[in-house]
Chains A and B, each alone.
Chain A
Amino acid sequence: MSIERQLIEEFERDSRKCPSDLDTRIAAEYKHRVMQQRGIPFMFRKRRMPKVVLIAVIFIVICGFGYAGNKLLFEDQKEKLSISYQTEQQLHFEKGDVGKIRSSFQEVKAQLKPGDTAVVYLQDYDIQVQGTPIVFGINKPVSIPLEAWKATLQQRSIKEKLPESILGTYKFVEGMETSPYQFNYGPDAYRLIDEMKAESKETGSKVLWRITNLSEADPVAPYTSVYRNSANDTIYLTWQIAGGDTSVKMFQAAPLGTAYEEIDIGGLTAHYMKDDHSLYGQSTIHQDVMWLKESGGKTIVYHVQTDSQNMTKEQLVEAAKSLL
């Protein structure tokens, strides 16, 4: 027998397997090192970071895999946070789909208590992006009246500019410790989706939902101050604040067809986006002027956004400039 043949046969015969006591050690060391790297205490079971951040239309995080057929809209970063927006061709809904999904969301929202966030499984829109399921959801923010909101921000040491009005006619009305567009799910999101998927297969239910557990600390916490005019048009001033020891990397998928423009506001690079098939907000239009800012050792993503069908891009940009 040739030595090559002998080598092949010996490798085939060799039955060594990883001993089970090594499994426990590897898993424990892995968890510890991952948590150390992410800068949060080692209590992996109890304090898992939420992995996905809902933004704009769709709730998804894509890690930095390159893939063809999609377009990078922009990347931006500061010390504690980097952000990358890409369009995703799977996130393309026709008008009819948008209407159906929005309607499902409203039905679920009606059943939520204020402060709840639900993960929603839609059988007709069981989509994966690069193998990761898209997790739909809806929240029902707690509206905090003006003075209580100012007190809340003070308690959280948030010192960002908070005018009484924007563009003269939009009055500051309330706040919320979330955002209609940028809200987070708990670490149980994927598990809940898997459960609902199985249930849907069994029962044929087209829309299922579960409350997601947000009890754990979020690496990027959203705060929204709401401004409204007499015609009931709304501007949402949202701050996503990354202030922990962890550096956060956000990869966001935007629907195909999202309009994008890099703009300059008072010497600052900002990003304008418009989606006219939005699943959230009071209308299907969502415009957003966003930029990153360092403030008091934290990195803040500013969003000046609206669901108003009447507001122009120029007006929104003007609103953004007034906050600098």
Chain B
Amino acid sequence: MKELDLNPWLIRMSQGDEQAFQVVYESTRDHAYRLISYLAPAKQDIGDIMSEVYFELYRSLSKYDPEQNFASWFNGLIVRQVRNWKRKEWRLFRIAEKLRLSTSKSSDPAAELRLTALSDRLDLLPILQTLSLKFKEVIVLRYYQDCSLEEIAELLKIPLGTVKSRHHHALKHLRRRLDQQGLRKEGDGFVY
């Protein structure tokens, strides 16, 4: 996110000031887009989730303490919106599944949706999408946002032990997938 003291703009934004929204949006949009795209269940959901994030930001500003770190708070808000979206998608998927099962068996099953790699040079990020959301959250916050495991525990409101466990399993899964694809660079990493 851009280095800018957002607090005055957040106050104005909470009051409905359009200019303030624009300033906050421009300062945060690329980061929000990236974080959502790493976590989102499907590429076509990114826009919808972005929209939810900024409206939720507006609604949540009354609870925001200006003493706290905005980036961290905003990350938590984004993670929650992605989770909410996923829960909504799962409900719709189950409805779709029920409808499919009750109709002809010749219908195609609901397609598995994945983000596509943006570049040939990105080997791991596409594989990231094979992780479930709870593992993705830990990996993305750890390696994209450089959060410590303690910070991740606080942000996701889960025990540190759970974060460590998810981190361990996520890395194990990614290593296995890379090995399968013959794309592992060298050596073994270490797990906290």
Contact = CB atoms under 8 A, between A and B. Distances in A.
B21 interface: yes
Contact of B171 (A3, A61, A128, A191): A3
B175 interface: yes
A4 to B, nearest CB: 5
Contacts of A31: 18, 21
Contacts of B178: 3
Interface string A221-255: 00000000000000000000000000000000000
Interface stretch (A6-14, A72-80, A87-95): A6-14
Contact of A34 (B55, B66, B185): B55
Interface in B167-192: 171, 174-175, 178, 184-190
Contacts of A6: 123-124, 185
Interface stretch (B22-30, B70-78, B95-103, B149-157): B22-30
Interface of A: 1-8, 10-11, 13-18, 22-23, 25-27, 29-31, 33-34, 37-38, 44, 48-49, 51-52, 61-67, 128, 130-132, 190-191
Nearest to A23: B29
A18 B32 contact: yes
B149 to A, nearest CB: 12
Given A6-B124, A131-B8, A132-B12, A30 B51 contact: yes
B64 A65 contact: yes
A1 B186 contact: yes
Which 7 A-B pairs have CB atoms at the shortest separation, nearest pair first?
A131-B8, A2-B189, A18-B33, A1-B185, A7-B143, A51-B15, A64-B62
A18 B29 contact: yes
Interface string B10-40: 0110111111011001000110111001000
B122 interface: yes
B7 A25 contact: no
B55 A30 contact: yes
B8 A132 contact: yes
A238 B17 CA distance: 28
B118 interface: yes
Given A16-B33, A18-B32, A131-B5, A10 B65 contact: no
Contact of B15 (A13, A17, A22, A63): A63
B1 to A, nearest CB: 12
Contacts of A65: 11, 62, 64-66
Contacts of B161: none
Contact of A10 (B50, B62, B124, B190): B124
Nearest to B54: A30
A34 B16 contact: yes
Contacts of B17: 51, 190
Contacts of B11: 62-63, 65, 130-132
A17 B30 contact: yes
A29 B51 contact: yes
7 contacts: A7-B139, A7-B174, A10-B122, A14-B122, A63-B62, A67-B66, A131-B11
A236 B55 CA distance: 41
Contact of B7 (A33, A64, A130): A130
A8 B51 CA distance: 28
B75 to A, nearest CB: 14
Nearest to A8: B143
A13 B47 contact: no
